[in-house]
């Protein structure tokens, strides 16, 4: 066997090894302030969760979705979100890996949310891979919707839309929005549409507005 054959064989073997090796999934991100439903369960622990909703995710779908918390996406959304994500599939983004996020439960963990003095709130989205952005869109569930009902587009009301936002050096997109005059427990739904690809990302965020900003001021609250 000559040296040339050995060199060629080694090159082929290297190429097969590299191409055949499992490649890491493309990662992108999720809301961390307030935490999205999937990110909260990641923080709660994929293997031994203690939160009822997170336990249900593991029991009904295993741990893969929790470990892949940054990938609730549709590859070919291109702004047509209602076409690629049907009613009842909003929290999963109609991505089969995350169907457990659409479970009808009244005990999803909620995070208190309060506007700052100017009526805004700064959301933080952890970007595990930066992308150019067409828009960020925020919705809130309407009064009367219950978490034991499928979440439909008709149940959501847009309250904020932002354009391209630079990724902060700490790895987060900081997104400041005026908060709606909502009260009680709601779902905030965010859509991140890339401009450098038709891909979009979706997050359900379970929050509690409490008495609401307007109600506080009506009762003499001083900022």
**Residue 4 located in a structural domain:** no
The mean pLDDT value for 37-66 works out to 97
State residue 130's pLDDT score. 75
Quick check: is 202 in a domain? yes
Higher pLDDT, 211 or 186: 186
Q: What average pLDDT does this structure show over 176-198? A: 96
Supply the pTM of this predicted model. Answer: 0.83
Average pLDDT, the chain: 86
User: Is 7 part of any domain?
Assistant: no
pLDDT of residue 129: 77
Q: What is the pLDDT of residue 28?
A: 86
Local confidence band at 128 (pLDDT 50, 70, 90 cut-offs)? confident
For residue 131, pLDDT over 90 is answered with no
How many whole angstroms separate alpha carbon 199 and alpha carbon 201? 7
Gyration radius (Cα) of the chain, Å: 21
- 125 in any annotated domain: yes
Provide the domain count of the chain: 1
Residue 124 inside a domain? The answer is yes
Report the first-to-last Cα separation within the chain, whole angstroms. 84
Q: What is the CATH number of the domain that holds 203?
A: 2.70.50.50
Give residue 136's domain range: 28-218
* Other residues' Cβ atoms within 10 Å of the Cβ of residue 33: 18
pLDDT of residue 216: 39
Six token digits for residue 12: 């082929």
- Residue 96 in any domain: the answer is yes
φ, ψ (nearest 5 deg) of residue 56:
-65, -35
pLDDT score for 94: 98
Each residue of 60-75: pLDDT tens digit? 999 999 999 999 999 9
Residue 15 lies in a domain: no
Question: Which carries the bigger pLDDT value, residue 220 or residue 152?
Answer: 152
């Amino acid at each position: 066997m000559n040296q040339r054959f050995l060199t060629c064989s080694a090159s082929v073997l290297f190429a097969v090894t590299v191409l055949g090796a499992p490649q890491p999934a493309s990662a992108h991100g999720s809301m961390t302030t307030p935490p999205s439903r999937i990110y909260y369960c990641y923080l709660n622990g994929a293997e031994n969760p203690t939160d009822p909703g997170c336990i249900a995710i593991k029991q009904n779908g295993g741990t893969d979705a929790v470990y892949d918390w940054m990938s609730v996406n549709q590859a070919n959304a291109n702004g047509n979100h209602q076409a690629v994500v049907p009613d009842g599939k909003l929290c999963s983004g109609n991505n089969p890996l995350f169907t457990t996020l659409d479970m009808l439960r009244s005990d999803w963990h909620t995070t208190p949310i309060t506007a700052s003095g100017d009526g805004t709130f700064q959301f933080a989205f952890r970007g595990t891979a930066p992308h150019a952005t067409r828009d960020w869109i925020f919705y809130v569930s309407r009064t009367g919707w219950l978490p034991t009902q499928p979440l439909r587009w008709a149940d959501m009301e847009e309250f904020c839309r932002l354009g391209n936002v630079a990724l902060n050096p700490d790895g987060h997109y900081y997104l400041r929005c005026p908060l709606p005059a909502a009260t009680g427990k709601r779902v905030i739904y965010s859509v991140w549409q890339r401009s450098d690809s038709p891909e979009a990302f979706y997050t359900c965020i379970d929050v509690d507005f409490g008495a609401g900003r307007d109600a506080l001021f009506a009762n003499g609250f001083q900022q």
